[in-house]
Amino acid sequence: MASTSNRNFFSSNMTQIPMDEKIRIALQFNNLSQSTKQTLTKVYCALAIGILTATVGVLFSMFIYRPGFLMTLLLVIGSAILFATTPRTQDYKTQVKRFTLFNLVTFVTGMSSSGLIELYMDINSSIVLNAFMATCGIFISFTLFSLLTNKRLYIFIGSSLASLSIGIFVLALTRLFGGYSEPLDQLFILAILASSVLFIIFDTQIMVHRIENLGEKDVLFHAFILFYDFVDLFRVILKILAKKENKNNNKSRR
């Protein structure tokens, strides 16, 4: 039934349907079971809460209290380990504990990013908001692509990520020992951006596979993985926009 609905969506008959109706049909996600859609709704609600908590962590670190680098690092690692090692049982007490730990992880991750955000705000205060909006747009776009397609691309993407990671490592070594080169630096940043996008597709499709085929409906764990995909993409876009702003400022001074 689901595959038939999906085939109908891409059939030539769909050309006669208005665009808004096509979008409505697509967003019904008929290729996914009802149980999977319910789980995904909870996952993305948890992710939204995590992003909001991280934002609070950034503001807390900027305006109230900023711990040292070592303490922040220990807090991030410690909270992540606590979250990952807490039993994934479904009883109420454990779920409350894991939800608290999940928000602690996102909060301290936000704290750890505050210094970087302040640095880029000094260049141009609009960079951070633009980077966040761009991150949301890219993340949502590739998430929808991953959910709407019937083809499970995670095996192909996994091998591509492995090759890309090796390429990024080689580029990093070249930058470290070969001196600064503008084209090489741009290639390095674009490679990291590509890997961030591929991780969104890979992790989303792996999540759907585990929910549908393995019955792994651990909402908080899936949200935890996607949260770091979002944060990594945000940091990369932030760096790209800041680099572009610096370049424009240098041109205007000449």
48, part of any domain: yes
Asked, for residue 16, whether it belongs to a domain, the answer is no
Please indicate, yes or no, if residue 129 is contained in any of the structural domains.
yes
pTM for the model stands at: 0.85
Helix boundaries (H) for the chain:
2-9, 19-26, 34-63, 69-85, 92-123, 126-148, 154-178, 182-209, 219-253
Q: What is the pLDDT of residue 214?
A: 86
The reply to whether 229 falls in a domain is yes
The reported pLDDT for the residue numbered 148 is: 80
pLDDT in tens, the chain (254 residues): 444 444 444 444 545 566 555 555 445 566 688 888 899 999 999 999 999 999 999 999 999 998 888 999 999 999 999 999 998 888 888 899 999 999 999 999 999 999 899 989 888 889 999 999 999 999 999 999 888 876 667 677 877 888 888 988 888 888 878 777 788 888 889 999 999 999 999 999 999 989 988 888 899 999 999 999 999 999 999 999 988 887 777 666 66
Residue 8 forms part of a structural domain: no
Write the CB contacts of 139 (distance below 8 Å, at least 6 apart in sequence).
200, 229, 230, 233
Looking at residue 7, what is its pLDDT? 47
- Determine, yes or no, domain membership for 24: no
Q: What confidence score (pLDDT) does residue 48 get?
A: 97
Q: Which two tokens stand for residue 119?
A: 């640095």
Number of domains comprising the chain:
1
Provide the residue range defining the domain that includes 184: 35-253
* Residue 54 within a domain: yes
